[in-house]
Structure 1
Amino acid sequence: MTSTGEERDGAGRDGPWWWERRRGAVLDVGLGAVSAVECAVEGVPFAHEAGLPVPLGVVFGVVVGAVLVLRRRWPVAVVLVGIAVTPAAMGFLLGVVGLYTLAACEVPRRVTGTLASMSLVGTFVVTYLRTRGDVEGEGALVFVLSAFMAVALTVPPVLLGLYVGARRRLMESLQERADSLERELSLLADRAEERAEWARQEERTRIAREMHDVVAHRVSLMVVHAAALQAVAGKDPEKAVRNAALVGDMGRQALTELREMLGVLRASEKPVRAVAAVADVVAPVAVVEEGPSLAELEVLVGQSRAAGMSVEMVVQGEGRAYPAEVEQTAFRVVQEALTNCHKHAPGARVVVRLAHREEEVAMQVENGPREGEARGADLPSGGNGLVGMRERVLGLGGVFVSGPTDGGGFKVSAVLPFR
C-alpha cells in the first residue's frame, strides 16, 4: 500500500479499508464520482467514433472514471488506465490526479519518470493527431499546441506531487526526530532523578558517618571517664575531680563539633540540593567542611591516654600539607579505630603509626590482646565504625584493610593517595 500523506495530517486511523483517515476516503470517493461523470460524458463521442452503442460508451466511461477511487491503493494502475484511455480522449481528471498521486507516494522515482514520460508522449500524439485535421496547413502551430497541452497536463501534477511528497517526508523525519528527542529527554530526566536520589542517599550516608565519628568517639571517652569517676569517687577525690573535668571537656568538644557540622549543613543546604537536582556532577555532593587535621592526632592520642589507655604513636617521614579531605579522612580513621579499642579492647596496648610517603599517607592502629582483668565500660556498638572507615577511604581512591592479628589483637590499616 502507498500513501500520499494527505491522510496523515492527524493522529490515529479511523478510515475504512486502505484509507487511514475518513476524510481521505471521502475525498477519493468524491474525486472518483467527478471523474466518473466526466468520463461518462466523454464516453458519448467515443461511442460514436468507435461505432458502439451510446449506453455502452457511457458505462465504459463510468467504470474508467471510477478507477480514481483506487489512487492511494494502486497509483501505478490508475496512471496506466489513464494512459490507456488517452486515445479515447477521456479521463483528463483521472490522468492529472493519478500523476500527482504517483509522484507524491513512495513509488520509485524511476517508475514515476517512466509513466510520466508515457503520459506526456501519449497526450502529445493524441492531441497532435486530433488537431491536425482541424487546422490545415499549420503544422508548426499544431505541433506547438500539442506540446503545450502534453506539458500542461503532465508536468505540473508531477512537480506538485514531488513537492508534496518531499515535504511530507521532511515532516515525517522532523516528527521522528522530535519523538526521538522527547524519548532522550525522558531518559535523561529519569537518569537525572536517579542521580539526584543517589546524591541524596550519599549525602544522608555522609551525614550519618560524620555524626557517628563525632559522637561515638567523644561519648565513648565520656563513658570511660564516667566509669573511672564512679570507681574512684570514694577512694581518690582528686582523681575523681580530674575525671569529671575531662568528662566536661569531652562533652564541650562533642557539642562544638556537632554545632560546626550543623552549621556547615545549613550553609551548604542550597548548593547540595542544586547539585542533586541537576545531577550532572554528583561526586562533589559530599561537601568538605572544615574539620580535624593530622596535626590534631597528638591531642586525640593524648585524650585516649588520659582515659587510661596505653597508646604509643609512631610517625615516619616528614609531614606536609595534604588536601583537606585527606587529612580529615586520616584523622577519622584513627579516631574511630581508637574508639573501637576503648569499646572492645580495654586495657590493651595500642600502637598508632603514621607514615608520610611520596604520593600517599598511610596510617595504622593496632591493639594487642585484651587484658583479662581490664573491665570495659559496656559501650554500645552499632557495627558501623568499620563500614564508615572503609567508605571514607575508598571514596578517595585509597586502600583499607582491617582484621585480627596473629597475636590476638586487631589491626586497622589505611592508605590514602593525595596526588
Structure 2
Amino acid sequence: MDMTSEAMTEELPRTARSFRDWVVDILCIALAAVIGLLNAEALRKAPDVAPALLAADQIVGAAACVALWTRRRWPVPLAVTLIVVSTFLPPAGGAMLVAVFTVAVHRPFRTVAAVGGLALASEPLQPALRPDPDLPFLAATVTGMLLVLAVIGWGMFVRSRRQLVLSLRERAHRAEAEAQLRAEQAQRLARERIAREMHDVLAHRLSLLCVHAGALEFRPDAPPAEVARAAGVIRDSAHQALEELREVIGVLRAPGADGGGDRPQPTLAALGELVEESRQAGMSVTLHQQVSDAAPVPEATGRTVYRIVQEALTNARKHAAGAEVGVRVEGSPEAGLKIEIVNPPGGEQGGRGGRDGSPAGQGSVSVPGSGQGLIGLAERAALAGGRCAHGPTPDGGFRVHGWLPWRL
C-alpha cells in the first residue's frame, strides 16, 4: 500500500450518506445487536448475577449499537471506547467488532495495528472478569481473538479493494486527460507544420511573381520581346508554385514525421538552382558552398538548409532590394553544417534586369511580409536539433545564421 492511496482513503472528505451507506450502517447495527443479545443471554445463565448488572448489560449494549452510527466520523475513538467497555460488559462486544472493522477499512496499517493490538489484549480479560458459563476460559479467549483477527483481515481486504478501485479510476482519468493533451498537441503541431510548409514553399515563388509583375507595371514602355520573356517567367513561376503546393499537400498527407510525398523534396544539392532563380529575378547573390559533396548530406538536413536559405533570400528580396546577398554553407559530418546569409542595407531602387532578360525593377516593388518566416526558421532548426538566429549587422544590414547537426 502506498502513502498516496492511504492518504486518499484516510483524508477523503465525508459527504451525506448515500443509500448504500444507510443500508450498510443498518446491517452493521443489526449484526452488533444480535451478537450483543447472544452475549447477554449467555451471561443471564451465570449464577449469582445481580439483576442490576444484567440491566446495565442490556442498556450499555443498546447504547453501543446506537453509537455505531458515528463510526464513519470518529472510527478510532469509538473503537477504543468500545474495546474498554466490552471488556467489562460483554454485550457491547458486537459493537466493538464492528468498530474495529471500520478502523481497518478507513485507517492506515499503523492505526489498525494499534487498535487491533488493544482489542486482542482485552480478549483474555473479558472471560476472566465476566466468564461465560458455556465456554471455558481458553476457548472463550481463543474465540474472541479469532473474531478480532477475522474482522481486521476482512476490513483490510475491503480497504485494499477500495484503494485499487480509486487507483484505477484515477489512472483512467489521468489517461483520458493525457490523451486529450496529446490530441491537442498533435493538432497544434499539425497546424504549425502546415503553416511552416506553406510559408516556406509559397512565399519564395509568390515573391518572385511579385517582382516580375511589378517590373512589368513600372516598365510599360519595355520592348515587346522583354515583356514576353517576363510574362513567360511569371507563367513558369506560377506553374512551379502550383507544383510545389501539390508537393506540400503530398508531404502533409504522408505518414512520416518529416514528410515523404510522392515527389522529391528539395535538398542541399538543389541549393544552386535556388540561388540561380533569385539571380534571374534580379538579385545579386554569391554562393560559397564549402561542403565537399552534397550527396552524402542526409535529405532531412539538406531540406532544412534549403528552407533556411530560401526564406533568407525571400526576405532579402522584400526588404533589401538591389543589395548583394552572400550565402555561405560549410560543414562536415563531425562539425555539422553552418549556414550564414548576410546582406547589406537595401541597394539602389530599380535594380538590374534578370538573366533571362526580364525587367527586374524590384527596388520599386513592395512585397508584403508577415514576419512569421524567421520565427518558422527557428522552429524548424530546433526540430532538427540545431539552432537558427537572425539580427541586424553593425552596418545596417541583416544576418541569418544557424547550425544543424549532420544527421538529425
TM-score when scaled to structure 2? Answer: 0.75
Return the letter of the residue paired with 1:68: G
Contact 2:204–2:314 (CA under 8 A) maintained in structure 1: yes
Partner of residue 344 from structure 2, selected from 338, 345, 368: 368
Partner of residue 412 from structure 1, selected from 391, 400, 407: 400
In the alignment, does 2:335 pair up with 1:359? yes
Displacement of 1:29 after TM fit? 4.7
In the alignment, does 2:287 pair up with 1:266? no
SS of the residue aligned with 1:408? Answer: coil
After superposition, what is the alpha-carbon deviation per residue over 1:315-346, rounded to whole angstroms, capped at 9, x for unaligned?
Answer: 11313422332111110110011111111111
1:316 maps to 290
In the alignment, does 2:118 pair up with 1:111? yes
Structure 1 residues 59-68 or 166-175, which shifts more? Answer: 59-68
Rounded Cα–Cα distance in structure 2 between residues aligned with 1:14 and 1:181: 22
Contact 2:32–2:94 (CA under 8 A) maintained in structure 1: no
**Compared with structure 1, are the counterparts of its residues 38 and 63 closer, same or farther at alpha carbon in structure 2 (3 Å cutoff)?**
farther
Partner of residue 46 from structure 1, selected from 48, 57, 66: 48
Displacement of 1:409 after TM fit? 1.7
2:196 maps to 209
Rounded Cα–Cα distance in structure 1 between residues aligned with 2:250 and 2:382: 26
Rounded Cα–Cα distance in structure 2 between residues aligned with 1:393 and 1:368: 24
Return the letter of the residue paired with 1:397: G
After superposition, what is the alpha-carbon deviation per residue over 1:234-279, rounded to whole angstroms, capped at 9, x for unaligned?
Answer: 43222222211111111111111111221232343xx8xxxxxxxx
Alignment of 1:167-206 (within 5 A): 167-206=154-193
Alignment of 1:2-401 (within 5 A): 13=17, 21-29=25-33, 32=36, 42=45, 46=48, 57-69=50-62, 70=64, 73=78, 74-82=81-89, 94=91, 97=94, 104=101, 106=112, 108-120=115-127, 149-232=136-219, 234-268=221-255, 284=257, 287=259, 290-320=264-294, 321-357=296-332, 358-374=334-350, 375-401=363-389
Count of aligned positions: 351
Rounded Cα–Cα distance in structure 1 between residues aligned with 2:186 and 2:25: 50
Rounded Cα–Cα distance in structure 1 between residues aligned with 2:38 and 2:304: 88
Return the letter of the residue paired with 1:403: G
Contact 1:96–1:157 (CA under 8 A) maintained in structure 2: no
**Compared with structure 1, are the counterparts of its residues 152 and 334 closer, same or farther at alpha carbon in structure 2 (3 Å cutoff)?**
same
After superposition, what is the alpha-carbon deviation per residue over 1:144-174, rounded to whole angstroms, capped at 9, x for unaligned?
Answer: xx9x633443323431331222121122023
Rounded Cα–Cα distance in structure 1 between residues aligned with 2:137 and 2:82: 20
Displacement of 1:301 after TM fit? 0.7
Rounded Cα–Cα distance in structure 2 between residues aligned with 1:221 and 1:102: 85
Rounded Cα–Cα distance in structure 2 between residues aligned with 1:98 and 1:213: 78
**Compared with structure 1, are the counterparts of its residues 174 and 288 closer, same or farther at alpha carbon in structure 2 (3 Å cutoff)?**
farther
Rounded Cα–Cα distance in structure 2 between residues aligned with 1:178 and 1:405: 64
Rounded Cα–Cα distance in structure 1 between residues aligned with 2:229 and 2:18: 91
Displacement of 1:382 after TM fit? 1.0
- Structure 2 residue ranges without an equivalent (≥5): 1-14, 69-77, 104-111, 351-362
Displacement of 1:410 after TM fit? 1.3
Rounded Cα–Cα distance in structure 2 between residues aligned with 1:14 and 1:31: 26
Rounded Cα–Cα distance in structure 2 between residues aligned with 1:120 and 1:30: 19
- Structure 1 residue ranges without an equivalent (≥5): 1-10, 48-56, 83-90, 128-145, 272-283
1:141 maps to none
Contact 1:102–1:112 (CA under 8 A) maintained in structure 2: no
After superposition, what is the alpha-carbon deviation per residue over 1:71-129, rounded to whole angstroms, capped at 9, x for unaligned?
Answer: 653332333224xxxxxxxx6xx3874785587564544433332223455677x86xx
Which one has a bigger Cα radius of gyration? 1
After superposition, what is the alpha-carbon deviation per residue over 1:264-312, rounded to whole angstroms, capped at 9, x for unaligned?
Answer: 32343xx8xxxxxxxxxxxx5x646552111111111111111111111
Return the letter of the residue paired with 1:79: S
2:6 maps to none
Contact 1:99–1:116 (CA under 8 A) maintained in structure 2: no
Rounded Cα–Cα distance in structure 2 between residues aligned with 1:216 and 1:294: 19
**Compared with structure 1, are the counterparts of its residues 99 and 390 closer, same or farther at alpha carbon in structure 2 (3 Å cutoff)?**
closer
**Compared with structure 1, are the counterparts of its residues 304 and 99 closer, same or farther at alpha carbon in structure 2 (3 Å cutoff)?**
closer
TM-score when scaled to structure 1? Answer: 0.73
**Compared with structure 1, are the counterparts of its residues 231 and 101 closer, same or farther at alpha carbon in structure 2 (3 Å cutoff)?**
closer
**Compared with structure 1, are the counterparts of its residues 98 and 257 closer, same or farther at alpha carbon in structure 2 (3 Å cutoff)?**
closer
After superposition, what is the alpha-carbon deviation per residue over 1:152-201, rounded to whole angstroms, capped at 9, x for unaligned?
Answer: 43323431331222121122023123313322332232233223212211
Displacement of 1:67 after TM fit? 2.2
Q: What is the RMSD of the two structures over their aligned residues, measured on CA atoms?
A: 3.2
1:5 maps to none
Contact 2:340–2:399 (CA under 8 A) maintained in structure 1: yes
Contact 2:268–2:302 (CA under 8 A) maintained in structure 1: yes
Contact 1:101–1:161 (CA under 8 A) maintained in structure 2: no
1:53 maps to none
Rounded Cα–Cα distance in structure 1 between residues aligned with 2:403 and 2:41: 94
Rounded Cα–Cα distance in structure 1 between residues aligned with 2:100 and 2:219: 105
Contact 2:88–2:129 (CA under 8 A) maintained in structure 1: no
Contact 1:310–1:348 (CA under 8 A) maintained in structure 2: yes
